[in-house]
Chain A
Amino acid sequence: MPVSNSNATTHTMKVPGTKPTKGPKKKKDEEEAVDPADGVDECPQGNGPEDQPELTEDELNEEITRILTANNPHAPQNIARYSFKERSYKPISVVDQMAVLFVLESSLLHEDSDEARRLRVKQGLLKENAAIDIGAESEEDRTETLATPVEDGGDVEEAGEEDRPDSSASKADKKEPKLTNQFNFSERASQTLNNPQMERICQTEPPPRNNFSATANQWEIYDAYFQELQKQEKNKEKQKGTQAKKDNDKSKKKVVLTETQTDDLSKVSDASKIFERMVNQNTLDDIAQDFKYFEDASDEFRDQEGTLLPLWKFQFDKSRRLTVTALCWNNKYQDLFAVGMGSYDFRRQGQGMLLFYSMKNSAYPEYIYPTTSGVQCLDIHQQHSHLVAVGFYDGCVAVYSLKQEGQEPVYKSTAKTGKHTDPVWQVCWQNDDMDNNHNFYSVSSDSRVVCWTLVKNELIFTDTIRLSVNGALSNGPEGGHLPSITAAGGTSFDFHNQIDYLFLVGTEKGKIHKCSKTYSSRFLETYDAHTMAVDAVKWNPFHPKVFISCSFDWTVKIWDHTINTPMFTFDLNAAVGDVAWSPYSSTVFAAVTTDGKVHVFDLSINKYEAICQQSVVAKKKTKLTHIEFNPIYPIIIVGDDRGCVTSLKLSPNLRKKPKSKKGQELPKGPEAEVAKMEKLLSLLREPEQSAV
């Protein structure tokens, strides 16, 4: 009965819920080895465990059927799962009955892979060495492993460990392929503790960005280099000038001022001036073209006469009522000329003006200086063309500097400093004296010729000469005759170009005196020139002996200063306001009359008549007061008593230069004519043209 007991025990153990399918194979074997349980055997009940339930014989003899099914006794019979769809727990109808008995992990090798080849090679080698034994051993190993997989765990481990040094050796030795056991080779890896990873990010504010784009042209590179150079130079200067810290401060201040950019229109000032000229040029384009290029072709047919082509008209609103009393070209900037405005009418004396016009802009003057008294005369210094000497109707003289801003003269004479008591009729700059001071002369109807010197900030005057009626005749035939004190006012004068001390003075009485700066009491010579006041007297720019004079007595006379009588006399049928020699020819001169006409003479062509007589004024009542030739351009400017200055271009006939023989200077004037003239009783001699 021990068997049945044992069976019973096994049954009792198994009956509650299990069925005798599972079980270690050992036990099955034991059962197989043991007699079948069909036979009822006697079993001693005392052999079982203590808590073995005591069964009656009926119960012991009860037949219990055992069924072998394919069901997994350990599988759960009622599994319920939550169904989200129906939102309730639902029992699963089919339960998985599969029972996994054994799992062995192994590795598959592709038959073409390296390892597989190595394996094959090794297997081949082993087979060659001891094919059968190894095969048997390997089989035994396999069976053993099948039988005791659990016990082999340790072996496998050892094998695995042994394999590792083998494997490492194999790795080092590439020749020996790795012997990998198909069954129990396993590579072991172990995982170390991984520290939990933490990512930490820190975000800063991005630096301020700016888009920058530029082109690298040749000139940008040049600019950069240039700036560098300037910086270096500044640094050098700073190093040198470390003494005066104040200067540095000032310069810093200046730098600060220039750096502040404001929406100022003042930056546009330069460009706007030029634009005004450009716009004027556009509007008056024809005039500009005429000025530059027009040559009157009809002159060829006109025998010897010429014409004057009117060009620009210069007018200023505020000076419409004033008369042009003086004109002067600027030597340095030949398009700039000065206009003095005042009045010749002693009843209408008011304010005057000093204006500077440029031919480039006829609409508006470049410089405007209003004056308290009418301007009577002016002169621009030859070398320092920013200095302008002005004589006024009230007898003052003043010097303006164009470089300085402001509308006041730089120097002005006052009653204390020897101003004239009568209007100043002419001023003329002289060469710098020995102390390098600028000086100029003025003549006035108070019969004084005064020399003014600019010393530092003052005008110092020296009376050069006192004009008196009989100045030169103190030892006259009448002997003992007191020189008449009645002085004659001077109305014009001119200094000789080459001979510095020599000058001519024209008087109210119509006489011209030749004087010297050095002799203040005597005249060198006196000419009875005109019957009325001598309006203008001028030396010939070329010939050293010839001068011209004009007067309100309608005449223009040409003199040789060595001869007391005029060489030429021209009657112009109207009071002559002004006369001027041309700068390009010694025989050409022009005169203006109060009937609005300009007369141009060329003595080498026509000794008796003007080669051009032209009326240049719009209204017949306008009187022409002054005339001046432009030093380089074939232009003359004519001033009238309506405050308007007209510029005229001389036609080619008026500009004929004498034919020059090759290799010689300008030929001395027609000597044939000189010979002819000398024959004449009036001892007229042609002005010889000397080279300039």
Chain B
Amino acid sequence: MAEVEETLKRIQSQKGVQGIIVVNSEGIPIKTTLDNSSTVQYAGLIHQLVLKARSTIRDIDPQNDLLFLRVRSKKNEIMIAPDKDYFLIVIQNPSA
């Protein structure tokens, strides 16, 4: 448990990382480094995206499953690790 905290701290201290959000299975953010409104917004929107992505992958081959999702945009990169128990979201600006 403490190791995980440390790892997340290290990630947060990396260059360009704007925020980390951990959302539990019910959609409630349990850990976040962003402000409340952004967190809620990210959690909601990304949840839908992940459902769609997972559905896509599994429709193509039901034995497959989604491991990670990386969305790169002009301004930053959003990395998502979905799981049946939680969501881990990291937002980073690689060029900063």
Contacts and interface: CB of A to CB of B under 8 A. Distances in A.
Is the pairing of A and B real? yes
Interface of A: 217-219, 221-223, 261, 263-269, 271-276, 278-280, 282-283, 285, 363-364
Contacts of A283: 14-16, 92, 94
Given A267-B86, A283-B15, A283-B16, A272 B4 contact: yes
Contacts of B55: 217, 219
A221 B55 CA distance: 12
A406 to B, nearest CB: 13
Interface in B40-90: 55, 58-59, 62-63, 68, 70, 77, 79, 81, 83, 85-86, 88, 90
B11 A275 contact: yes
Contact of B58 (A219, A264, A269, A279): A219
A581 B80 CA distance: 43
26 contacts: A217-B55, A218-B58, A218-B59, A219-B55, A219-B59, A222-B58, A223-B62, A264-B1, A265-B4, A265-B8, A265-B22, A267-B86, A269-B7, A271-B83, A271-B88, A272-B8, A275-B11, A275-B88, A275-B90, A276-B11, A278-B68, A279-B17, A279-B79, A280-B14, A282-B94, A363-B14
A280 B11 CA distance: 8
B4 A276 contact: no
Given A218-B59, A275-B81, A363-B10, A282 B1 contact: no
B24 interface: yes
A216 B33 CA distance: 37
A271 B81 contact: yes
A265 B10 contact: no
Given A269-B7, A276-B14, A282-B77, 20 more contacts: A218-B58, A218-B59, A219-B62, A263-B24, A263-B30, A265-B1, A265-B4, A265-B22, A271-B83, A273-B7, A275-B81, A275-B88, A276-B7, A276-B10, A276-B11, A279-B14, A279-B79, A279-B90, A283-B92, A283-B94
A219 B31 CA distance: 31
A355 to B, nearest CB: 15
B89 to A, nearest CB: 9
A278 B7 contact: no
Interface residues of B, number: 34
A636 to B, nearest CB: 26
Q: Is the interface of B mostly helix, strand, loop or mixed?
A: mixed
Contacts of A276: 7, 10-11, 14
Secondary structure call for the A interface: helix
Contacts of A261: 25, 85
A107 B10 CA distance: 103
Contacts of B88: 268, 271-272, 275
Contacts of B85: 261, 267
Interface of B: 1, 3-5, 7-8, 10-11, 14-17, 22, 24-25, 30-31, 55, 58-59, 62-63, 68, 70, 77, 79, 81, 83, 85-86, 88, 90, 92, 94
A663 to B, nearest CB: 42
B7 A272 contact: yes
Contacts of B4: 265-266, 268-269, 272
Contacts of B63: 222
Nearest to B64: A219
Contact of A217 (B22, B59, B77): B59
- Scoring A273, A274, A280, A282 by chain B CB atoms within 10 A of each residue's CB, the highest score goes to A282
Nearest to B84: A267
A272 B94 CA distance: 18
B1 A279 contact: no
Given A223-B62, A264-B1, A265-B1, A279 B11 contact: yes
A69 to B, nearest CB: 97
A460 B58 CA distance: 54
Nearest to B89: A275
Contacts of B92: 279, 282-283
Contacts of B30: 263, 265
A276 B6 CA distance: 11
Contacts of B14: 276, 279-280, 283, 363
Nearest to B15: A283
A173 to B, nearest CB: 73
A219 B60 CA distance: 9
The winner among B3, B7, B8, B16 for most chain A CB atoms within 10 A is B7
A119 B3 CA distance: 106
Contact of A218 (B1, B31, B62, B83): B62
A278 B81 CA distance: 11
Nearest to B85: A267
Contacts of A221: 62
Contacts of B77: 282
Contact of A282 (B16, B24, B81): B16
A268 B90 contact: no
Nearest to B70: A278
Q: Which 10 A-B pairs have the closest CB atoms?
A: A219-B58, A222-B62, A271-B81, A219-B62, A282-B94, A269-B4, A272-B7, A271-B88, A265-B4, A279-B14
A267 B1 contact: no
Query: Which of A223, A267, A268 has the most CB atoms of chain B within a 10 A radius of its CB?
Result: A268
Contacts of A268: 4, 8, 22, 81, 86, 88
Given A217-B58, A279-B92, A265 B31 contact: yes
A271 B85 CA distance: 12
Contacts of B3: 269
B92 to A, nearest CB: 6
A359 B34 CA distance: 30
Contact of A278 (B25, B31, B79): B79
A283 B16 CA distance: 7
A274 B16 contact: no
A615 to B, nearest CB: 27
Nearest to A275: B90
A279 B15 CA distance: 9
Nearest to B94: A282
Contacts of B58: 217-219, 222
A282 B86 CA distance: 23
A274 B81 contact: yes
Nearest to A222: B62
A279 B94 CA distance: 8
A223 B63 CA distance: 9
A267 B83 contact: yes
Nearest to B61: A219
A263 B24 CA distance: 7
Contacts of A223: 62
Nearest to B65: A219
Nearest to A263: B30
B65 to A, nearest CB: 9
